[in-house]
A and B are shown apart, each in its own frame.
Chain A
Amino acid sequence: MNLLTLVLFLPLAGFLVALFLPRSSPQSSRGWALAISLVTFVASLGLPFQFDYAAAGEQFKLDVPWIASPEIHFYLSADGVSMWLLLLATFLTPICVLVSWRSIQHRVKEFFAFLLLLEFGLVGVFIAQDLFLFYVFWEVSLVPMYFLVGIWGHERRIYAAVKFFLFTMAGSVLMLAAIIYLYNKAGTFSYPALLGMLSSGRLSFAPTEGLLLFLAFFIAFAIKVPLFPLHTWLPDAHVEAPTAGSIMLAAVMLKMGTYGILHFCVPLFPGPARQCAPWIAVLAIIGIVYGALVSLVQPNMKKLVAYSSVSHLGFVVLGIFSFTQLGLDGAVYQMLNHGISTGALFALVGLMYERRHSLEIADFGGVATPAPWLSTAFLITTLASIGLPLLNNFVGEFLVLQGTAQTNYTWTIFAALGVILSACYMLWLYQRVFYGDTREEVRLHMPDMNMREWVAVVPLIVMMIWMGVYSQSFLPPVTKSNSRVLDQAQINVPFRVAVPSTKEVASAR
């Protein structure tokens, strides 16, 4: 049992124990969820320390037979990309526990149990290397989220939960069919084995066959991302979800889609991926601009942030389909950034909902006067979200756009419009909520952040600054993994740059 396996099973054990905690003492459920999610996080912190940064391939490998026929393995491993995504999930879970501490008052035990089960599923998705096992985790993560939205959500929670479930299921059925088809053709669910067979030529697809398989996977992932025009489940799910559900949904679950595209779609089906790239890139760019424009006119804070996610995730997809080192690195960095900054936005919006019991922008105004620190935290998060340099999103957006410029400069021109628009919708939101004269209802019901809320929010802000100022803590393993993806897929559009800049500067010193 290696560290990776431990990190996977800690939340599951936490979930099982949580089921047997007394219903009469909600505090014990809260405490247990916080403890076990913190232990999981601390354990997962060991991963970047044990990670071999010189090696490019999979690490922390565990491969044991699970089901004999069909041959399904319990096969886990992590590379530089999945390690950070896993850490994103384990980092955000304790924060979710903290922000749900007071806001969840009924069925407390079940809520935290589902949250831990969700963590288990999400961690599993990022490290499963057996396609069937991947599919199992994919569905496992779906179930607790369905209940989080459906039970603890707001007024239209049932509609939103069902819509979320059906959209995702529609895609996953296609993916399952493709996985079974692959098994029938190649005789294995093992993803590395499939890659090996592809590169040795023992496995190959006819053009139409490859295209259909690619699309089956891609549509499943694209719904999850969500890529325009498959995004309409997202705003509903976000608006209705409880705060913790929104955080996990936006910050981690959406990344299942982009991770899937990067990790499975592109290396398995490089030809079709390349063939479809112009179409997908155009959809991504439409998503960037469209999501931002629709965000601009939302009267509801959560809906605004949800549509902004459509815009942000468009950058991720665009980066992947630029097929450049910079684009892929930027895409992965942007996955992490979006997790941090949008997670923080939802957390802060949640804190405001707890106080004012409204998500309508029109019900706020002048929050900065009674709650200056809350406003400051929101401002920093806003600035991160609109890609201000020295905060995290800037690095990702820059790499994505630069990578895209290497491939197709016209794409970059249109995608960069999103950077203007993000400033418009976020600053306008900020002005209407935080500036202006303080309304009486706001003044009475808007105390500043308390200690528990601080503990939840400050780590997110620290990460925004850290990832924005010193990206070298995070990027090197990502670069390594991505260059392997590009090699694997043999679609490396080389970054035609002769001289790296830093060396010249160093010698000038």
Chain B
Amino acid sequence: MQLWLIPLLPLAGFAINGLFGRRFSKALVNVFAIGSVVLAFAWVLKTIVGLGDLTMPYTEHYFTWIQSGQFSVGADFTVDRLTEVMLLVVTGIGSLIHIYSTGYMAHEHGPNHGGYYRFFAYLNLFMFFMLVLVLAANYLVLFVGWEGVGLCSYLLIGFYFTKKFATDAGNKAFIVNRIGDFGFSLAMFYIVKTFGTLDFGSVFSRAPGASEATLTLIGLLLLVGATGKSAQIPLYVWLPDAMAGPTPVSALIHAATMVTAGVYMTARSFPIYSHAPVALETIAVIGVATAFFAATIGMAQNDIKKVFAYSTVSQLGYMFVGVGVGAYGAGVYHLVTHAFFKALLFLGSGAVIHSLSGEQDMRNMGGLRTKIPWTFWTMVCAWVAIAGVPFTSGFFSKDEILIAAYYHEPWIYWLGTITAGITAFYVSRAMFMTFFGKYRGHEHHIHESPAVMTLPLTVLAALSLAGGYFFRVPSFLDAVFPGRKELENSGLMAISVFFGFGGILIAYLMYVAKPAMADSFAGSIKGLYTLVYNKYFVDELYDTAVVKPVVGGARWVLWRGVDAGIIDGMANGVATLSRGIGGVLRLWQSGNIRSYATWVVAGSVALMVTLGMLAGGAR
């Protein structure tokens, strides 16, 4: 089926634009950038049609990547139904965001169009690595994509590389992800130690034979990797900062695709987790805790992208809850619907920012619904979807997760439902602050975005509304994840819908009906508000507890102390000592013949006396 073509097409786009894009016009850059991704999408469609029902995974082997002794890792791709879902999301939404970006980035100016070609080269490279990630047939090839998307994320967060906050955010993203990858690598080493291979097929078929302790260890180590990539507690801190990148990047990488890689990977590893209940439970707890925690931060942010960033962290938490309670299909379902509505929220906010020439603070917005109606109405579709309004895409997937959670562990359901209310509140708050009331910004020519931007918004709006109904992901994935139970509980469903509408209503009261209410409420809980507004001071905590001690210790204890002080001190001490000894010995070598002669005589006498005494003693 030539699966390799799927990732290789964007890679070619990257190579062409990366090497020659400086000399291309923007239109030519667009041809290669968009062309390669759209072709990849087309090839995905062709592959899916060609593979048909696909009840068994389909695998292609290209070459041996690493071989040592009996151990080998192949450059292998595989497709099953889970891969198909991911391929469609990545190339489908990827195509839309590439098209959108040509409009969003059109105003980049300066030398080489301000790096216009560079932006698309990176974006194409990201598509390559993301597609490798989802096509991989073993953990090591998955890890190629895993680290590769991290690299592209780093490059695109720091795209405006003259700005220090952007490159700081890029470094933070890469390094925090490396901490996660540390766990992922240790998991791989333990997998090989246990199973002798990294191939999904072999590992999963042998997993039931391994001890629960082993599988729990592997599962928890993989989870460390997932918390890094998918921004879960305790490694979520990089994602809000990642908003320093251009907004289409936030939509594609930091909402729709890359950050869901941890969900994909843990769902993919379900044969390990299904025999490691403790690891699975940990996923669910981390998921629901992150969902709640991040949602509360989202309530108090004023930067429109920051709101959606914390929202993404929170929604990823829901996906982990799905995986953690054993409803893998539901987790992936939410991954798909979230890709629709969150990509739309980001692209929509990008259109808002674009129309306001870079303004991101919602306190300086307001009343935009009449000025940019197309953007507004598409974003409304995402709004209702994430708030869980019945029959929108988010409603289906979130309920599937929450109901599964209820039958697993009721408290997870209740915390998840409360979080759903908070979610509805903060998204509504963002919508009201942006589009309702009076415009609070500076005098400005506010313009609707061009068609290349509004068209992708429209497609995503349609998907956000109807995608959940038409793409019944969990039943499609029954071939991959066995043992799904059809759970229906209209009572629970009604409760979460009630919470969703409640959140919208409170936001309406506070930000539209009585605008002064928000401030007075924040004032009445000042301490708590400050805590939440400052994101619980987690960044400051990490900085004080980890970063400063490591850097300071390395500088003052290791370098100045151990290296320059102790080790070099000893080496120089030896040198000084030998110079001292040499100084004494030098006195013997005066160059004076008579003194030499004296020493020779003295030495001879001493020698003869000694020999004589020894001989006498022997006798």
Q: Which residue numbers of A lie inside 8 Å of B, CB to CB?
A: 163, 166-167, 229, 231-233, 290, 293-294, 296-298, 325-326, 329-330, 366, 368-369, 383, 388-390, 395, 398-399, 401-403, 405-406, 409, 412-413, 416-417, 419-420, 423-424, 427-428, 431, 434-438, 469-472, 475-476, 479, 483, 495-502, 504-506, 508-509
Asked whether any CB of chain A lies closer than 8 Å to the CB of B550, the reply is yes
Known contacts A293-B554, A297-B554, A431-B171; is-contact A398 B148 (Cβ 8 Å): no
- Some 7 contacts from A to B, beta carbons below 8 A apart, are A390-B144, A402-B188, A402-B192, A405-B192, A505-B199, A506-B61, A509-B61
Q: Are B162 and A294 in contact (CB under 8 A)?
A: no
**Known A423-B175, A427-B175, A502-B72; further 12 A-B contacts with Cβ < 8 A:** A167-B571, A290-B558, A294-B559, A368-B161, A388-B147, A389-B148, A413-B186, A416-B182, A476-B67, A501-B197, A501-B202, A505-B199
Q: Are B74 and A502 in contact (CB under 8 A)?
A: yes
| Interface residue from A293, A368, A504, A505 paired with B550 (Cβ < 8 Å) | A293
- A232–B167 touching, CB < 8 Å: no
Query: Which residues of chain A are near B70, meaning CB under 8 Å?
Result: 495, 497, 500
Q: Which one, B99-107, B135-143, B245-253, B442-450, is touching chain A?
A: B135-143
- Give the residues in chain B near A502, CB-CB below 8 Å: 61, 64, 67, 72-74
Question: Could you tell me if A398 and B162 are in contact, using CB atoms closer than 8 angstroms?
Answer: no
A412-B189, A497-B70 are known contacts. Are A417 and B558 too (CB-CB below 8 A)?
A: no
How many pairs of residues, A versus B, come closer than 8 Å at their CB atoms? 183
Contact check, B189 vs A475: say whether CB atoms are below 8 A apart: no
**Cβ-defined contact, B182 with A419, below 8 A:** yes
Q: Is the interface of B mostly helix, strand, loop or mixed?
A: helix
Contact for B563 among A232, A469, A476, CB less than 8 A: A232
Q: Does A435 contact B161, Cβ atoms closer than 8 Å?
A: yes
Taking CB atoms, residues of chain A closer than 8 Å to B350 are: none
A-contact bits for B51-86, CB 8 A (1 contact / 0 none): 000000001110111111111111010000000000
Given contacts A229-B567, A419-B185, A479-B69, contact A509 B59 (CB under 8 A): yes
Q: Which residues of B contact A419 (CB under 8 A)?
A: 178, 181-182, 185
Top 7 closest pairs, chain A to chain B, by CB: A497-B196, A325-B69, A501-B197, A405-B189, A293-B554, A297-B555, A389-B144
Which residue of chain B lies nearest to A375 when distances are taken between CB atoms in the complex? B161
State whether the Cβ of B293 lies closer than 8 Å to any Cβ in chain A. no
* B554 pairs with A471, CB closer than 8 A: no
Q: What is the interface size of chain B, counting residues whose CB is below 8 A from a CB of the partner?
A: 65
Nearest CB of B to A488, in Å: 16
What chain A residues lie within 8 Å of B138 (beta carbons)? 501
Known: A401-B189, A501-B74. A509 touches B60 (CB 8 A): yes
Contact of A416 among B61, B185, B201, B555 (CB under 8 A): B185
Which residues of B sit under 8 angstroms from A232, Cβ to Cβ? Answer: 563, 567-568, 571
Give the dominant DSSP class at A's interface. Answer: helix
Q: Tell me whether A388 and B554 are in contact in the complex, defined as CB-CB below 8 angstroms, given that A423-B178, A437-B162, A506-B61 are known contacts.
A: no
Which residues B366-398 have CB closer than 8 A to chain A?
none
What chain B residues lie within 8 Å of A325 (beta carbons)?
Answer: 68-69, 71
Selected contact of A472 from candidates B67, B158, B188, CB within 8 Å: B67
| A420–chain B nearest beta-carbon distance, Å | 5
Interface of chain B residues 535 through 551 with chain A (CB within 8 A)? 550-551
Inter-chain contact B71/A435, CB cutoff 8 Å:
no
Q: Are A297 and B559 in contact, with the CB atoms below 8 A?
A: yes
Q: Which residues of B contact A330 (CB under 8 A)?
A: 68
Q: Select from chain B the residue with minimum beta-carbon distance to A405.
A: B189
A417–B64 contact, CB under 8 A? Answer: no
Shortest beta-carbon distance from A395 to chain B in Å: 6
Tell me, rounded to whole Å, the shortest Cβ–Cβ distance linking B444 to chain A: 27
Q: How far is the CA of A363 from the CA of B185 in the complex (A)?
A: 37
Q: B120 an interface residue at 8 Å Cβ cutoff? A: no
Q: How far is the CA of A420 from the CA of B186 in the complex (A)?
A: 12
Please, which residue of chain B has its CB at the minimum distance from the CB of A368? B161
Bound CA span A479–B567, Å: 37
The smallest beta-carbon distance between B92 and chain A, in angstroms, is 26
- Bound Cα distance from A413 to B182, whole angstroms: 9
Using Cβ atoms and an 8 Å threshold, which residues of chain B touch A231? 567
B302 smallest CB distance to A (angstroms):
27
Q: Which listed residue (B59, B158, B555) contacts A508, Cβ 8 A? A: B59
Q: How far is the CA of A384 from the CA of B60 in the complex (A)?
A: 28
Residues of B close to A504: CB separation below 8 A: 199, 201-202
Report how far A290 CA is from B462 CA in the complex, Å: 55
Contacts known (A388-B151, A389-B143, A420-B175); A412 close to B186, Cβ less than 8 A: yes
Please name all residues of chain B whose beta carbon is closer than 8 Å to the beta carbon of A475 when the two chains form the complex.
66-68
Interface centre among B66, B67, B202 (most CB of A within 10 A): B66
Once bound together, how far apart are the Cα atoms of A395 and B68, in whole Å? 11
Closest to A373 in B: B22
B182 touches A417 (CB 8 A): yes
In the complex the two chains form, is A436's CB within 8 Å of B190's CB?
no
Kindly report which residue of chain B lies nearest to residue A230, judged by CB atoms.
B567
| A170 nearest in chain B by CB position | B574
> For the complex, is B514 an interface residue (Cβ under 8 Å from A)?
no
Contact in complex: A427, B171 (CB < 8 Å)? yes
Contacts of B240-284 to chain A: CB distance below 8 A = none
**Neighbouring B residues of A505 by C-beta, 8 Å:** 59, 61, 74, 76, 137, 199, 201
